[in-house]
Amino acid sequence: MLRRALTAIALLALTTGASAQEFDRTGAYIGVGGVIGIEDFNVDQVPNSLGIEKFDPNRSQLDMGDTGMGGVDFRAGYRFHANVAGELNYFWVDSYNVNFQGSKAGSIDLQGLTANVKAYPLTGQFQPYLLGGVGLARGEFEGNSSTDLTWKAAAGIDLYPFTDAPKAHWALYFEGSYLLPQGDVEDLNLWSCTMGVKYRF
């Protein structure tokens, strides 16, 4: 009886070790998802390069008509350590209406590409992470566009629903982030909630 119990414990330890090794292994990954962007724009301060001032030079009668819009998220990265990954992330969110005197004056589209570093304190089936990144953000308003530096900060979690290969290569990701554009796209700040699926090679 004791021998059987010890054998069972040993098998469980080996299985758990194999699963952990699968989840914290190094290697490349790709992911795709959907994003809900919650604007934190300050249209009173958005640079003139987007052309918003032509509707209201003093910016005194402009306001945002939409607060949250949908978009897409693509990412590719490399886990070069059990607790650290590098990542390229592209997102696009569509058509935040800008109102002038209560009527629509146009809409702002926002997209960005950032290079990120992700830190994973846990490496099992549930892997929370913190992320910091820098890249480019592009704002568009009625035919005018500007691109400039942006910072990104985020927290999220990777969830591995399967433990057996090859299904263990798939993971779900959930992320909340804040984008802080600079220069010609300053004040097009954005909160976003992202959910997607990724594949680890």
Q: How far, in Å, CA of 53 to CA of 142, rounded?
A: 12
DSSP secondary structure letter of residue 82: T
Cβ–Cβ < 8 Å for 64, 99: yes
Q: Can you give the pLDDT of all 201 residues of the chain as single tens digits?
A: 545 544 544 443 344 443 444 788 899 999 999 999 998 887 766 666 676 666 666 655 666 666 678 999 999 999 999 999 999 999 999 878 777 776 777 788 899 999 999 999 999 999 999 999 999 999 998 888 899 999 999 999 999 998 887 788 999 999 999 999 999 888 899 999 999 999 999
Query: In order of start, what are the domains of the chain with their CATH numbers?
Result: 2-200 (2.40.160.20)
Q: Which structure tokens are listed for 58?
A: 């003093």
Look up the pTM and report it: 0.81
Query: What would you report as the CA-atom Rg of the chain, rounded to the nearest whole angstrom?
Result: 22
Reference 156, options 171, 172, 180, 176; nearest CA is 176
Q: Are strands 170-181 and 188-200 parallel, antiparallel or unpaired?
A: antiparallel
